[in-house]
Structure 1
């Protein structure tokens, strides 16, 4: 709830997606990574996570809550462009480090 209200700060948001089969709503907390003036959501559990599958099935449509509710269109980043974004994400979301086994001091 505090993520949805936007009072946590540090890029904390709630992401809302819909399961394409059951039409159930999935809302979960995420950290928005900022890199080179753009914002990214990163799946610390990989491509198989529910929210990633839901967003792909919805052709990128999702809703972000951070003080207010706003529809977004998420675009998948090419695999060869993800490393610097992931490094930035890990600096902003330290709780994700156990899920992404890359040392913070490693070069991009």
Structure 2
């Protein structure tokens, strides 16, 4: 579905459907939300389903497709300004986490987002050192509201 790090036709259809259902709060789990960010080229809102990961009292979103995912580029271009949808709209800012601090968040992410596991070269139960080795390849953003 994500050949070459990009969503294929089936993934795009499923993402659109999931984004609508998550925004309406109709799908479980509760950590599933819709992220809305302004497109860097079109200026139009782009919406996609994401899993929120909680770690050490903070909430995060992770790019399972790495730094070249379009939503990551859009968030960076928008200065981190986004909206989160789940039974309502909440304005938020995403602050990128330095690679040195990402490992425990990535491990927690794989625990709550089983659909992301095939995109990571480590097992969700791997030691923290394994996540430290790949942390630079997977952007992590802290949610600030």
TM over 0.5: yes
How far residue 6 of structure 1 moved from its aligned partner, in angstroms, is 2.3
Render the CA deviation track for 1:20-62: whole Å, top value 9, x for unaligned: 2211221000000010111000000011111110110011100
Where does the alignment leave 5 or more consecutive residues of structure 1 unmatched? none
User: Per residue, is there more helix in 1 or in 2?
Assistant: 2
| 2:84 is the counterpart of 1:64 | yes
Counterpart-to-counterpart distance in 1, 2:48 and 2:121: 22
Select the residue among 72, 85, 93 that pairs with 2:113.
93
Structure with higher RCO (Cα < 8 A, 6+ apart) = 1
Over aligned residue pairs, what C-alpha RMSD do you find? 1.0
* TM-score of the aligned structures, taking structure 1 as reference length: 0.95
Detail structure 1 runs of 4+ shifted over 3 Å in the superposition. none
Where does the alignment leave 5 or more consecutive residues of structure 2 unmatched? 1-19, 129-145
Counterpart-to-counterpart distance in 2, 1:6 and 1:102: 31
Aligned residues: 108
* TM-score of the aligned structures, taking structure 2 as reference length: 0.71
How far residue 5 of structure 1 moved from its aligned partner, in angstroms, is 1.6
| 2:70 is the counterpart of 1:43 | no
| 2:119 is the counterpart of 1:83 | no
